[in-house]
Amino acid sequence: MTPSSLSSPPKDPVVATAGAERTWRAGTLTYTTGGLVALFAWLLWGDFAWWLKERSVVPVAQLFLKNFQASDMIVGLLVGSLPAALGMILGPVISVRSDRHRGRWGRRIPYLLIPTPIAALSMIGLAFTPRMGGALHSWLGAGSPGPEACVLLAFGLFWTVFEVASVVANAVLGGLINDVVPQEVIGRFFGLFRAVSLAAGIVFNFWLMGHAEEYYFWIFIGVGVIYGGGFTLMCLRVKEGVYPPPPPPAAGEGASVLKGFVAGTIAYARECFASRHYLWIFAATTLAMIAFGPVNTFGVFYAKSVGMSMDAYGKYIALTFTVSLIMSFFLGWLADLLHPLRLGIISIALYGVMALWAGFMADDARSFAVAFVAHGVLSGVYFTATASIGQRLYPRAKFAQFASAAGLMAATCFAVLPPLMGRYLDLTGHVYRHTFIAGAGLAFLALAAMLVVHRRFMALGGPKGYVAPEA
């Protein structure tokens, strides 16, 4: 892939003249057809490594924690609240610094490349936490809180390091795509992006999920190695363009560390949260994301409670991913044609109806299987259809900043929801049908917020004339 830097790119991102090969542009980058294919290939290879990590580590961690007597509340805290809290703290800082960074490697690649080996090594460390916990238990002697507690302490340490590295990379990955992928094909790219992520999920869930409890050691190590090597290779092969100078710092930002932090925080809050338009977008996307959270967080325990084996559970997940994979490119094309916001409205409404039914009816292995597959397919439809919604609604020059603000709202909810849901399930004797009822309520709230966003979107020009308001 050899994109060229252009001193003053035209507004039309597609260039096609008689007898000339068609080219695509993203900022100062221009691609021939071959260059665009190469760009997609490297980004999707990195995406496969990324999603293999995301699809595998969390369910293996959930089973691991349960085997060492962690309660639903502890699982919710570690798997849900911890990454959300880290996202609240690190996401805005990293995204703003990335938007303003200028260097020979670009403004996104350094923030993706540096945390990658840290995440990979921490995954490998997770594999050894039972041995570390046993050693800690022996060393503490009579003062030990118990062997299981020592293992959980060791696990929590490596899990925290892993989540820090993942949050840093996640804060800017969407920004890299926004900067290097031409806008007129962004929906189709995200369709392929989703297809690759689903393929990673199929690989893990069909062949490995049934063995996660017995082979967690090798899964942690294997995925750590694949992720570290694959994502690093993507970072080295994808090239960024030339960006205009960053905006000047806010008044007082360079005075001292404390004053700079305060000034930067005020400027960030003013730009991202002063507009009702963007607040409604943040609310709509946040509510939709967390609507799937209760079932996603506790689905593996739900399956166990109705007598479903982990092998069958993994294969049902693989089935949902396969259905989503078949639809992914079509949904990406449809998002380019109709707009991701409209597809999001349809998919979240369907999910709310399904989840309400499941909350009252999915009480055995068969009905849970039906509900769980429907959950996976409809949530997949939503995420594929709306994958490019930020690129279509946020200001392009400050995309990562506004995406981090949306992530901040989502992280706040994710920090609270999983442990609360877990505590509720502990108190109700682990009646996991309630996860669907909670999801239905959140989905209908998301639907209402999306309808408000759509009304404002149409008032600002709709699919053909919308221009993101300046903050």
- 34 within a domain of the structure (yes/no): yes
Cα–Cα dist 235/355, whole Å = 39
- Kindly report the CATH number assigned to the domain that includes residue 104: 1.20.1250.20
- 203 within a domain of the structure (yes/no): yes
- 215 within a domain of the structure (yes/no): yes
Supply the range of the domain harboring residue 411: 4-465
pLDDT at 20: 66
Cα–Cα dist 102/91, whole Å = 19
- 470 within a domain of the structure (yes/no): no
Which of the four pLDDT bands, split at 50, 70 and 90, describes residue 471?
low
- 471 within a domain of the structure (yes/no): no
Say which range, 1-10, 123-132, 186-195, 232-241, has the weakest mean pLDDT: 1-10
- Judge if pTM exceeds 0.75: no
pLDDT at 126: 96
Say which range, 192-201, 350-359, 421-430, has the weakest mean pLDDT: 192-201
Identify which has the larger pLDDT, 255 or 183.
183
**Mean of the per-residue pLDDT values for the chain?**
88
Let me know: does 234 contact 43? Beta carbons within 8 Å. Answer: yes
- The total of structural domains in the chain comes to 1
- As a whole number, mean pLDDT of residues 357-376 equals 95
- As a whole number, mean pLDDT of residues 276-280 equals 94
- 384 within a domain of the structure (yes/no): yes
Residue 452 pLDDT more than 50? yes
Say which range, 152-156, 258-262, 393-397, has the weakest mean pLDDT: 258-262
Identify which has the larger pLDDT, 355 or 337.
355
